[in-house]
Structure formats: C-alpha cells, structure tokens
Chain A
C-alpha cells in the first residue's frame, strides 16, 4: 500500500489573480518601511532619540557583541613556567572531525610529565570551528576563546598555525578570566603567570 497524502493547494481568489490589489499590498509594505525609516533617520539627524532602524553593524567602527561561548581562533594554554600545558595525548587530534590538527609528540624535559608537543599544527582552512578539540582535551590545554572574529589572510600559509603561534600570538582574552570584558571585544593579553591552578 502506498500512502497518498493529498496536499491542499488553495486556489487563488479572483482578487489575487487580478494581480493589482496584491501589488498594492506589497507596495504598502515597502512604503511603510521606506517612510518609517526615512522618518527615523531624519529624527536622528536632527537629534531626536528615535530608534535606529538599521540592522547593519558598521563593522570596522563597531563590532558585534561576542557571546562568552564564541568559538574563535584556537590558542594553546601555558603553564606558569611558560611551557605548554598540552601533554600530547592526541585526544583533540582524534576528536577532530576535519582532521586538521597535527601533533608531533616528544619526551617532556619535565620529569613529572611524560610527553609534550614538539609540534602542534592546526590548519584553520579545514577547521569547522566545532570546538570538539576543546571538549576533548583532558588538560584544558586548548581553547578557542581568543576573541578573533575576523580571520582573514591572503596566503594559505597564514592559516596554518604552528605551536609557537598558538602558544604566544593567541594569548588573547577570554570571558572565563575576565568576565564581562569580552563584551564589545575588549581584547586583553592574559598574564598567565598570575593564573592559579594548572600544574
């Protein structure tokens, strides 16, 4: 048995078919917007406190609000002595659906830790910013809270981030350390030596 589901298609009424009334309705909508916005703009221009009707954010001058959970460019956390927190467990590399993390592990000079990343590379061009690497990390060594929104570049190699870049160039703020300051993108350098916790 095949189920047939009849779809009710309402017939156009004569008024709709004659086209002109519907056109006028459409014109009504656009005119409402046109005159409403014109009035609001004029109001603002002469100093009244009318509502800004525009949905556009004038980007370079204004930036949009970044939610505390925004996933931006990755960064690697460091220990108080400046060495990477990462223990090269490969969890993130395994979790990554896009296969864009490449870690080369080496023996750590620190006796308490087995391994550390000799190289840690992320290919941002493949990354889908899913954040699974952050979820997977047992050491809280990788974060995506760097606050970078505009990721742009002119060569591919600019998107191929290596360990030192991730460790140092991305030590940018975060809501976790500075609650509230990310609003309006206040970007701050994080002084990790003042951080408690860690190993």
Chain B
C-alpha cells in the first residue's frame, strides 16, 4: 500500500519535473530558435560569474525579475478571482498530462509500474475536459481585472478557445473510432500493429485528416501563433493586461507547459506514443523482444533495452513536436480575427465532420 503510494508520488514528481523544466527551457529555446531563424543572436547577456550557457542564464534572470516585480491587483477588480485566475489557467494543463503514458509498463522490485500517472478508460475525454477548463482561467482573468480591455481580451480568448475546442473534440473522434478505445494506453498499444504487414498503424497514418485538423486546433487552443490574438504579445491588449510579476508569469508558464503537454497528447494519439515501429517487447511478440522487421529479419534486444528505447522514443517525439510548434510560431503570420472564426466554423468543422463520416463508412465496409 505504502509502496503503491510512493510509486504514484514518484511518477507525479517526475512528470511535474518534466513539464516545469520543459517549460522553463522552452523560454530559452523559443528565443534562440527565433534568433536563429531570423539571423540574430538572441538573448546572451545575463551571466553568473561570466558563465552564460548560451543564454540559458537569461531564463533565470527572467524568473527572478518576475518574482521581484510588484504583484499588482487592480483596486476595483475582484481581488480573489484576480489572484486565482492564473492558477485556473495553469493547472488544467498540468493535469492533462496525468493520463499520458510516457513509457511502457516496467517491472521494478517486484512492482508492475505503468509509466502513466492515471490510467483512465476515458482518458481522451479527460484531456478534452481539462483543456476546456483553461478557458475559465483567461475569462475570469479578463472579468476580474475590471478593465474594459482585459474584459474584451478575455471574451476574444474564450470565443477562440471554445471554437477550437469543438474542432479538437471532433478531430479526435476519428482516432477513437479507428482504435476503438478512449483509453490512452490502449490507443498507444493499438498503434504498435502494422497495416498491410509493413506500415505502422500510427494515428497520423490512419487518420491524416484528423491530424491536420487537430494540430492547428491545438495551436489555437494553446493560444500559440498563428492564433495568438488572445495575447498578441505587444500589439493588442489581452486578458492579462492587468497582471504583473509572477501572476503574469503563471499565464506564461501555463502557455509554455501547454506546448509540452500538447506535444505529448499529439504523440500519444497520432505518433504512436512511446512505440518505435517494428520494436516489440516480450509480451507482445511471444517472448522475443526486439525489432521484427517486415522483411522477416529479427534483432533481439533485452527487455530493459526495449523499455529504455521506448522512453527515449517518446521523449524524442515530444521534443520534435515542441521544436515544430516553435518553428510554426516563428513562421506564420497571424490570422485576422474574422478569418480565425471562419477557418474554425466554416472550414475545419465541416472537414472534421467529413472525416468522421468517411472514417465510419470505411470502418463499416471493412467490417462487412
């Protein structure tokens, strides 16, 4: 009992460590990547005793600056709501990671450990549900500030997020139909089978349209460019106008954590989770762990090697997606707000419905 408790705590600590550090490092990655893309140098001035670590110290300096800034709350705003809104915006993002399997089940000291905090059979719904709670954070932030601009920003944000949540949900119905489950762990395992004997049955292979819809919708949900009107960094006033210091930093952290979490979600549902094509463990392939290539050759590997390779694969996929999201942010121009709404309701939504119809039809035909 105590051991179980310890294991769960350990997993939670590990995941939090991963997300928080991931988000922290992303502030640096985002700057440096943007600098490289636009032939600049990027942040490189902060140093501790001359050690600059290619600008990584700048992130520390930023955190320190935020911590010491005045924590201003508008005198006529709703004080309580104003102070909890950043938390409401940030925590659902962290919670979403609870259902993500970040590695295969492992045996350690006689315990069977799933590398997933919570194995819910409605995991996908859990992800969507907590994704939508984040809307409240920005809406409440706008409302509690008692400022016209923040309120308008909050409304703009919630309209955008609600519009794209629908796309997220509809796009995920395709994979749910194909894999026949809503349980993330089962979804991941379903992706380790082969199509026609050679093509990994990843979500992106069997549901390409759903992927093309999910990715932009996820970017919009995470308020990332090219859908970053809610913040509009310096140009338009957003819902956190009245925030300063670490409370503003929490919104920022939440947004960066969302990059990590979204990458993990996309990896889990569309990129085969922690699986590497043709790599199976002992349970899946009758005692023969290792690579089973479609042309018949076989490369035996130990059980632990397989597990470690899989964890690395998951990390690499997530890292790739995070890199990709930042690349997108430095590439695409912003949508206009009406275009944003049009894309969501008049282009992506019919496409998502079409995807569900086609998927259903094909599945029905295959069954008969």
Q: Report which A residues bind B (CB closer than 8 A).
A: 20, 23, 26-27, 29-31, 33-34, 37-38, 41, 53-56, 58
* Bound complex: CA A27 to CA B41 (Å): 20
User: What residues on B are CB-neighbors of A34 within 8 Å?
Assistant: 33, 36-37, 327
Pick the contact of B328: A27, A29, A33, A37 (CB < 8 A): A27
Given A20-B212, A23-B332, A27-B331, residue A33 in contact with residue B37 (CB < 8 A): yes
Given A20-B212, A23-B332, residue A56 in contact with residue B40 (CB < 8 A): yes
Answer yes or no: B330 CB below 8 A from chain A CBs: yes
Assess whether B39 is in contact with A55, with CB atoms less than 8 Å apart: yes
Answer yes or no: B285 CB below 8 A from chain A CBs: no
Answer yes or no: B21 CB below 8 A from chain A CBs: no
CB nearest to B38 among chain A residues: A33
Assess whether A56 is in contact with B41, with CB atoms less than 8 Å apart: yes
User: What residues on A are CB-neighbors of B41 within 8 Å?
Assistant: 54, 56, 58
Closest Cβ of chain A to B30, distance in Å, is 13
Please, could you name 20 A-B residue pairs with CB atoms under 8 Å apart, sorted by A? A20-B212, A23-B331, A27-B328, A29-B331, A30-B327, A30-B330, A30-B331, A31-B327, A33-B36, A33-B38, A34-B37, A34-B327, A37-B36, A38-B36, A41-B36, A53-B39, A54-B41, A55-B39, A55-B40, A56-B40
Interchain pairs with CB closer than 8 A, number? 36
Closest Cβ of chain B to A130, distance in Å, is 31
Q: Report which B residues bind A (CB closer than 8 A).
A: 33, 36-41, 212, 327-328, 330-332
Can you name 10 extra interface pairs (CB under 8 A) apart from A41-B36, A54-B39? A27-B328, A30-B37, A31-B327, A33-B36, A33-B37, A33-B38, A34-B37, A34-B327, A54-B41, A55-B39
Assess whether B331 is in contact with A26, with CB atoms less than 8 Å apart: yes
A-B pairs with lowest CB-CB distance, top 10 = A37-B36, A30-B331, A56-B41, A30-B37, A26-B331, A33-B37, A34-B36, A34-B37, A54-B41, A55-B39
Closest Cβ of chain A to B44, distance in Å, is 8
User: What residues on A are CB-neighbors of B212 within 8 Å?
Assistant: 20
Given A20-B212, A23-B332, residue A33 in contact with residue B39 (CB < 8 A): yes
User: What residues on B are CB-neighbors of A27 within 8 Å?
Assistant: 327-328, 331
Closest Cβ of chain B to A43, distance in Å, is 13
* Bound complex: CA A81 to CA B114 (Å): 91
Closest Cβ of chain B to A68, distance in Å, is 28
User: What residues on A are CB-neighbors of B327 within 8 Å?
Assistant: 27, 30-31, 34
Closest Cβ of chain B to A17, distance in Å, is 11
CB nearest to A54 among chain B residues: B41
Assess whether A54 is in contact with B33, with CB atoms less than 8 Å apart: no
CB nearest to A41 among chain B residues: B36
CB nearest to A57 among chain B residues: B41
CB nearest to B343 among chain A residues: A19
User: What residues on B are CB-neighbors of A55 within 8 Å?
Assistant: 39-40
* Bound complex: CA A20 to CA B216 (Å): 11
* Bound complex: CA A53 to CA B328 (Å): 22
* Bound complex: CA A171 to CA B109 (Å): 80
Closest Cβ of chain B to A81, distance in Å, is 48
Closest Cβ of chain A to B363, distance in Å, is 26
CB nearest to B329 among chain A residues: A30
User: What residues on B are CB-neighbors of A23 within 8 Å?
Assistant: 331-332
* Bound complex: CA A27 to CA B331 (Å): 6
Closest Cβ of chain B to A124, distance in Å, is 28
CB nearest to B331 among chain A residues: A30
Closest Cβ of chain B to A169, distance in Å, is 30
B37, B38, B40, B330, most chain A CB atoms within 10 A = B37
* Bound complex: CA A20 to CA B330 (Å): 16
Closest Cβ of chain A to B3, distance in Å, is 45
Closest Cβ of chain B to A158, distance in Å, is 25
User: What residues on B are CB-neighbors of A29 within 8 Å?
Assistant: 331
Assess whether A54 is in contact with B40, with CB atoms less than 8 Å apart: yes
User: What residues on A are CB-neighbors of B331 within 8 Å?
Assistant: 23, 26-27, 29-30
Assess whether A26 is in contact with B332, with CB atoms less than 8 Å apart: yes
* Bound complex: CA A54 to CA B44 (Å): 13
* Bound complex: CA A20 to CA B208 (Å): 13
* Bound complex: CA A56 to CA B40 (Å): 6
User: What residues on A are CB-neighbors of B328 within 8 Å?
Assistant: 27
CB nearest to A22 among chain B residues: B332
Closest Cβ of chain B to A20, distance in Å, is 7
Closest Cβ of chain B to A35, distance in Å, is 9
Closest Cβ of chain A to B145, distance in Å, is 34
Closest Cβ of chain B to A8, distance in Å, is 24
User: What residues on A are CB-neighbors of B39 within 8 Å?
Assistant: 33, 37, 53-55
CB nearest to A31 among chain B residues: B327
